[in-house]
Amino acid sequence: MPVHAFIFPGQGSQAVGMGRDLSAAFAAAREVFQEVDDTLKQKLSKLMFEGPAEELVLTENTQPALMAHSIAVLRVLESEGGIDIKSRAIVAAGHSLGEYSALCAVGAFTVADAARLLKLRGQSMQKAVPPGEGAMAALLGSDMAQAKEICAEAAVNPEGVKEVVEPANDNGAGQVVISGHRSAVERAIEIASAKGVRRAMLLPVSAPFHCALMAPAADAMAEAFEQTPPKAPFMPIVANVSAAKETDPARIADLLVRQVTATVRWRECVGAMVELGATSFIELGAGKVLSGLARRIAPDCTSAAASTPAEIEALLKVL
Protein backbone atom coordinates (compact mmCIF):
# COMPACT_ATOMS: atom_id res chain seq x y z
CA MET A 1 0.00 0.00 0.00
CA PRO A 2 1.33 3.48 -0.83
CA VAL A 3 2.19 5.82 2.02
CA HIS A 4 0.88 9.29 1.19
CA ALA A 5 2.26 12.77 1.70
CA PHE A 6 -0.15 15.61 0.94
CA ILE A 7 1.45 18.65 -0.73
CA PHE A 8 0.04 22.11 -1.43
CA PRO A 9 1.02 24.47 -4.28
CA GLY A 10 2.46 27.97 -4.08
CA GLN A 11 2.36 31.15 -6.11
CA GLY A 12 2.48 30.70 -9.85
CA SER A 13 -0.15 27.94 -9.91
CA GLN A 14 -3.09 30.38 -9.99
CA ALA A 15 -5.30 30.79 -13.06
CA VAL A 16 -8.62 32.48 -13.75
CA GLY A 17 -11.34 29.86 -13.40
CA MET A 18 -9.66 28.08 -10.50
CA GLY A 19 -12.24 26.49 -8.22
CA ARG A 20 -15.24 27.42 -10.39
CA ASP A 21 -16.22 23.84 -11.38
CA LEU A 22 -15.49 22.68 -7.84
CA SER A 23 -17.84 25.29 -6.40
CA ALA A 24 -20.58 24.44 -8.88
CA ALA A 25 -20.37 20.72 -8.08
CA PHE A 26 -19.84 20.52 -4.33
CA ALA A 27 -21.38 22.26 -1.30
CA ALA A 28 -18.25 21.55 0.74
CA ALA A 29 -16.17 23.63 -1.68
CA ARG A 30 -18.73 26.45 -1.74
CA GLU A 31 -18.58 26.63 2.06
CA VAL A 32 -14.81 27.12 2.01
CA PHE A 33 -14.97 29.83 -0.65
CA GLN A 34 -17.78 31.60 1.21
CA GLU A 35 -15.87 31.48 4.50
CA VAL A 36 -12.81 33.08 2.87
CA ASP A 37 -14.98 35.73 1.18
CA ASP A 38 -16.67 36.56 4.48
CA THR A 39 -13.40 36.60 6.42
CA LEU A 40 -11.67 38.96 4.00
CA LYS A 41 -14.82 40.99 3.28
CA GLN A 42 -13.97 40.52 -0.37
CA LYS A 43 -15.50 38.60 -3.28
CA LEU A 44 -12.29 36.64 -3.72
CA SER A 45 -14.15 33.62 -5.12
CA LYS A 46 -15.63 35.76 -7.93
CA LEU A 47 -12.12 36.97 -8.75
CA MET A 48 -10.90 33.36 -8.79
CA PHE A 49 -13.75 32.16 -11.00
CA GLU A 50 -14.03 35.11 -13.40
CA GLY A 51 -10.89 37.26 -13.11
CA PRO A 52 -9.62 39.67 -14.28
CA ALA A 53 -6.21 38.00 -14.32
CA GLU A 54 -4.37 41.22 -13.49
CA GLU A 55 -6.20 41.37 -10.15
CA LEU A 56 -5.89 37.68 -9.37
CA VAL A 57 -2.11 37.80 -9.79
CA LEU A 58 -1.77 40.55 -7.18
CA THR A 59 0.08 38.82 -4.35
CA GLU A 60 -2.46 39.80 -1.70
CA ASN A 61 -5.16 38.03 -3.74
CA THR A 62 -3.16 35.10 -5.09
CA GLN A 63 -2.03 33.84 -1.71
CA PRO A 64 -5.41 33.43 0.03
CA ALA A 65 -6.97 32.28 -3.25
CA LEU A 66 -4.58 29.36 -3.65
CA MET A 67 -5.10 28.35 -0.03
CA ALA A 68 -8.88 28.49 -0.43
CA HIS A 69 -8.73 26.30 -3.53
CA SER A 70 -6.47 23.73 -1.86
CA ILE A 71 -8.62 23.45 1.24
CA ALA A 72 -11.79 23.28 -0.88
CA VAL A 73 -10.34 20.24 -2.67
CA LEU A 74 -9.48 18.67 0.68
CA ARG A 75 -12.98 19.29 2.06
CA VAL A 76 -14.53 17.66 -1.03
CA LEU A 77 -12.29 14.61 -0.59
CA GLU A 78 -13.48 14.43 3.01
CA SER A 79 -17.20 14.92 2.31
CA GLU A 80 -17.55 12.99 -0.96
CA GLY A 81 -14.95 10.29 -0.53
CA GLY A 82 -14.78 9.86 3.20
CA ILE A 83 -11.05 10.62 3.06
CA ASP A 84 -9.57 11.34 6.48
CA ILE A 85 -6.16 12.95 6.05
CA LYS A 86 -5.20 11.70 9.52
CA SER A 87 -5.45 8.10 8.42
CA ARG A 88 -4.50 8.49 4.75
CA ALA A 89 -1.24 10.44 5.09
CA ILE A 90 1.81 10.58 7.32
CA VAL A 91 3.00 14.12 6.58
CA ALA A 92 2.04 17.33 4.77
CA ALA A 93 4.03 20.15 3.19
CA GLY A 94 3.46 23.19 1.02
CA HIS A 95 5.59 25.38 -1.22
CA SER A 96 5.95 28.90 0.21
CA LEU A 97 2.37 30.12 0.82
CA GLY A 98 1.34 26.48 0.40
CA GLU A 99 2.85 25.83 3.81
CA TYR A 100 -0.11 27.76 5.26
CA SER A 101 -2.48 25.50 3.29
CA ALA A 102 -0.68 22.47 4.69
CA LEU A 103 -0.93 23.83 8.22
CA CYS A 104 -4.62 24.52 7.74
CA ALA A 105 -5.11 20.98 6.45
CA VAL A 106 -3.51 19.50 9.59
CA GLY A 107 -5.40 21.69 12.05
CA ALA A 108 -2.76 24.28 12.95
CA PHE A 109 -4.79 27.14 11.43
CA THR A 110 -8.49 27.58 10.75
CA VAL A 111 -9.50 28.52 7.21
CA ALA A 112 -10.33 32.04 8.42
CA ASP A 113 -7.00 32.48 10.19
CA ALA A 114 -5.06 31.17 7.18
CA ALA A 115 -6.94 33.58 4.89
CA ARG A 116 -6.23 36.59 7.12
CA LEU A 117 -2.57 35.67 7.56
CA LEU A 118 -2.04 35.16 3.83
CA LYS A 119 -3.79 38.41 2.95
CA LEU A 120 -1.43 40.22 5.33
CA ARG A 121 1.56 38.25 4.05
CA GLY A 122 0.78 39.19 0.47
CA GLN A 123 0.22 42.86 1.28
CA SER A 124 3.39 43.05 3.37
CA MET A 125 5.51 41.37 0.70
CA GLN A 126 4.22 43.77 -1.94
CA LYS A 127 4.95 46.80 0.23
CA ALA A 128 8.45 45.64 1.22
CA VAL A 129 10.08 46.59 -2.09
CA PRO A 130 9.01 49.45 -4.39
CA PRO A 131 7.71 48.28 -7.79
CA GLY A 132 10.49 47.74 -10.30
CA GLU A 133 13.32 47.53 -7.76
CA GLY A 134 13.20 43.77 -7.29
CA ALA A 135 13.07 40.74 -9.57
CA MET A 136 13.22 36.96 -9.62
CA ALA A 137 14.71 34.63 -12.21
CA ALA A 138 14.69 30.92 -12.89
CA LEU A 139 17.97 29.12 -13.56
CA LEU A 140 17.06 25.96 -15.47
CA GLY A 141 19.77 23.34 -15.65
CA SER A 142 21.51 24.61 -12.51
CA ASP A 143 21.86 23.34 -8.95
CA MET A 144 22.13 25.10 -5.60
CA ALA A 145 25.92 25.07 -5.47
CA GLN A 146 26.22 26.74 -8.87
CA ALA A 147 23.35 29.15 -8.12
CA LYS A 148 25.11 30.32 -4.94
CA GLU A 149 28.30 30.92 -6.92
CA ILE A 150 26.39 32.90 -9.55
CA CYS A 151 24.65 35.00 -6.89
CA ALA A 152 27.92 35.73 -5.08
CA GLU A 153 29.47 36.97 -8.33
CA ALA A 154 26.41 38.99 -9.33
CA ALA A 155 25.94 40.66 -5.94
CA VAL A 156 28.60 43.33 -6.50
CA ASN A 157 27.65 46.00 -9.04
CA PRO A 158 30.12 47.75 -11.38
CA GLU A 159 30.65 50.52 -8.78
CA GLY A 160 31.66 47.95 -6.19
CA VAL A 161 28.43 48.28 -4.19
CA LYS A 162 26.94 45.05 -2.88
CA GLU A 163 23.31 44.33 -3.78
CA VAL A 164 20.96 41.52 -2.79
CA VAL A 165 20.66 38.45 -5.00
CA GLU A 166 20.05 35.07 -3.35
CA PRO A 167 18.65 31.61 -4.08
CA ALA A 168 14.92 31.81 -3.31
CA ASN A 169 13.67 28.34 -4.28
CA ASP A 170 15.60 25.11 -4.60
CA ASN A 171 12.93 23.28 -6.56
CA GLY A 172 15.10 20.35 -7.54
CA ALA A 173 15.30 18.67 -10.94
CA GLY A 174 17.80 21.30 -12.06
CA GLN A 175 15.57 24.27 -11.23
CA VAL A 176 16.70 27.04 -8.90
CA VAL A 177 14.96 30.41 -8.56
CA ILE A 178 16.94 33.48 -7.48
CA SER A 179 15.64 36.75 -6.03
CA GLY A 180 16.86 40.23 -5.16
CA HIS A 181 17.56 43.67 -6.59
CA ARG A 182 16.57 43.76 -10.26
CA SER A 183 20.02 44.92 -11.43
CA ALA A 184 21.73 42.12 -9.50
CA VAL A 185 19.29 39.49 -10.80
CA GLU A 186 19.89 40.71 -14.36
CA ARG A 187 23.65 40.40 -13.83
CA ALA A 188 23.10 36.89 -12.49
CA ILE A 189 21.22 35.95 -15.67
CA GLU A 190 24.18 37.09 -17.80
CA ILE A 191 26.67 35.23 -15.59
CA ALA A 192 24.52 32.08 -15.64
CA SER A 193 24.37 32.13 -19.43
CA ALA A 194 28.14 32.57 -19.62
CA LYS A 195 28.59 29.59 -17.29
CA GLY A 196 26.51 27.36 -19.54
CA VAL A 197 23.27 27.26 -17.57
CA ARG A 198 20.71 25.83 -19.99
CA ARG A 199 18.24 28.70 -19.54
CA ALA A 200 18.13 31.76 -17.29
CA MET A 201 15.08 33.99 -17.44
CA LEU A 202 13.25 36.67 -15.50
CA LEU A 203 9.96 35.57 -13.94
CA PRO A 204 6.73 37.60 -14.17
CA VAL A 205 6.39 38.30 -10.44
CA SER A 206 5.43 41.46 -8.60
CA ALA A 207 8.11 41.34 -5.89
CA PRO A 208 11.42 39.60 -5.03
CA PHE A 209 10.16 36.89 -2.68
CA HIS A 210 12.29 34.80 -0.31
CA CYS A 211 15.29 37.08 -0.03
CA ALA A 212 16.64 39.62 2.46
CA LEU A 213 14.65 42.44 0.83
CA MET A 214 11.50 40.89 2.35
CA ALA A 215 12.62 41.64 5.94
CA PRO A 216 9.80 44.18 6.56
CA ALA A 217 7.25 41.50 5.62
CA ALA A 218 8.90 39.04 8.00
CA ASP A 219 8.53 41.60 10.80
CA ALA A 220 4.85 42.00 9.96
CA MET A 221 4.29 38.25 10.13
CA ALA A 222 6.10 37.99 13.46
CA GLU A 223 3.61 40.50 14.89
CA ALA A 224 0.70 38.64 13.30
CA PHE A 225 1.66 35.34 14.90
CA GLU A 226 1.63 36.97 18.32
CA GLN A 227 -2.10 37.51 17.76
CA THR A 228 -2.77 34.33 15.76
CA PRO A 229 -0.31 31.62 16.77
CA PRO A 230 -0.55 28.21 15.13
CA LYS A 231 -1.99 25.33 17.13
CA ALA A 232 -0.31 21.94 17.42
CA PRO A 233 -0.89 20.08 14.14
CA PHE A 234 -2.45 16.62 14.36
CA MET A 235 0.10 15.43 11.78
CA PRO A 236 3.65 16.66 11.18
CA ILE A 237 4.59 19.00 8.38
CA VAL A 238 7.95 19.28 6.65
CA ALA A 239 8.82 22.97 6.75
CA ASN A 240 10.34 24.96 3.89
CA VAL A 241 13.08 26.49 6.03
CA SER A 242 14.23 23.43 7.97
CA ALA A 243 13.40 20.74 5.39
CA ALA A 244 12.56 18.61 8.43
CA LYS A 245 9.57 17.25 10.31
CA GLU A 246 7.98 19.88 12.56
CA THR A 247 5.22 19.62 15.16
CA ASP A 248 5.92 22.31 17.79
CA PRO A 249 3.64 25.35 17.31
CA ALA A 250 6.18 27.92 18.56
CA ARG A 251 8.86 26.57 16.23
CA ILE A 252 6.40 26.45 13.33
CA ALA A 253 5.59 30.15 13.87
CA ASP A 254 9.31 31.00 13.98
CA LEU A 255 9.93 29.05 10.77
CA LEU A 256 7.03 30.80 9.03
CA VAL A 257 8.57 34.17 9.92
CA ARG A 258 11.97 33.08 8.66
CA GLN A 259 10.40 31.59 5.53
CA VAL A 260 9.59 35.08 4.21
CA THR A 261 13.29 35.86 3.65
CA ALA A 262 14.72 32.32 3.44
CA THR A 263 15.21 29.83 0.64
CA VAL A 264 12.36 27.39 0.05
CA ARG A 265 14.24 24.09 0.26
CA TRP A 266 11.68 22.09 -1.72
CA ARG A 267 14.10 19.51 -3.12
CA GLU A 268 15.19 18.68 0.42
CA CYS A 269 11.59 18.75 1.68
CA VAL A 270 10.63 16.03 -0.79
CA GLY A 271 13.68 14.02 0.28
CA ALA A 272 12.72 14.44 3.95
CA MET A 273 9.20 13.16 3.27
CA VAL A 274 10.63 10.10 1.52
CA GLU A 275 12.89 9.48 4.51
CA LEU A 276 9.83 9.65 6.76
CA GLY A 277 8.30 6.85 4.70
CA ALA A 278 6.26 8.58 2.00
CA THR A 279 5.99 6.65 -1.25
CA SER A 280 3.22 8.74 -2.84
CA PHE A 281 2.75 12.50 -3.22
CA ILE A 282 -0.78 13.91 -3.52
CA GLU A 283 -0.99 17.56 -4.63
CA LEU A 284 -4.23 19.32 -3.70
CA GLY A 285 -5.14 22.58 -5.41
CA ALA A 286 -4.31 24.56 -8.51
CA GLY A 287 -1.88 23.19 -11.07
CA LYS A 288 0.42 20.18 -11.10
CA VAL A 289 3.81 21.83 -10.46
CA LEU A 290 4.66 20.11 -7.19
CA SER A 291 3.54 16.64 -8.24
CA GLY A 292 5.66 17.06 -11.36
CA LEU A 293 8.69 18.08 -9.31
CA ALA A 294 8.11 15.15 -6.95
CA ARG A 295 8.25 12.72 -9.88
CA ARG A 296 11.65 14.08 -10.87
CA ILE A 297 13.08 14.45 -7.35
CA ALA A 298 11.81 11.07 -6.10
CA PRO A 299 11.34 8.92 -9.23
CA ASP A 300 10.65 5.76 -7.20
CA CYS A 301 7.53 7.39 -5.70
CA THR A 302 4.15 7.89 -7.32
CA SER A 303 2.39 11.25 -7.54
CA ALA A 304 -1.04 12.59 -8.37
CA ALA A 305 -2.78 15.97 -8.40
CA ALA A 306 -6.39 17.02 -7.91
CA SER A 307 -8.00 20.36 -8.69
CA THR A 308 -11.19 19.69 -10.66
CA PRO A 309 -14.19 17.40 -9.99
CA ALA A 310 -12.91 14.91 -12.58
CA GLU A 311 -9.45 14.84 -11.03
CA ILE A 312 -10.95 14.39 -7.56
CA GLU A 313 -12.97 11.42 -8.84
CA ALA A 314 -9.80 9.88 -10.28
CA LEU A 315 -7.87 10.56 -7.06
CA LEU A 316 -10.53 8.88 -4.92
CA LYS A 317 -9.85 5.66 -6.81
CA VAL A 318 -6.16 5.95 -5.88
CA LEU A 319 -6.88 6.75 -2.24
Catalytic residue among 96, 124, 280, 291: 96
CA angle 119, 242, 65 (to 5 degrees): 20
Give the C-alpha separation, 243 to 17, whole Å: 32
Q: Would residue 206 show up in a list of annotated catalytic residues for this protein?
A: no
In this structure, the number of other CB atoms found within 10 A of the CB of residue 190 comes to: 12
Q: Given the residues 179, 210, 242, 280, select the one marked as catalytic.
A: 210
Any idea what the Cα angle at residue 45 is, between residues 40 and 50, rounded to 5°?
A: 135
Alpha helices, H only, 195-308: 215-227, 249-259, 266-275, 289-297
CA 83 to each of CA 26, 86, 111, 123, 319: distance values in angstroms, whole numbers, following the listed order: 15, 9, 18, 34, 8
Nearest to 7 by CA among 310, 298, 317: 298
Torsion of the alpha carbons at 105, 107, 110 and 116, rounded to the nearest 10: -70
Angstrom distance (rounded) from CA 295 to CA 185: 29
258 C-beta neighbours (distance < 10 Å), count = 16
Q: Report d(CA 303, CA 86) in Å as an integer.
A: 19
Angle between helices 215-227 and 111-128 (to 10 degrees): 160
- Give the span between the Cα atoms of 165 and 182, in whole angstroms: 9
Q: 193 in helix, strand or coil?
A: helix
Quick check: is 142 catalytic? no
The set of residues, in sequence order, having a beta carbon less than 8 Å from that of 80 and lying 6+ positions away, is: 26, 28, 312, 316
Query: Which residues are marked as active site?
Result: 96, 210
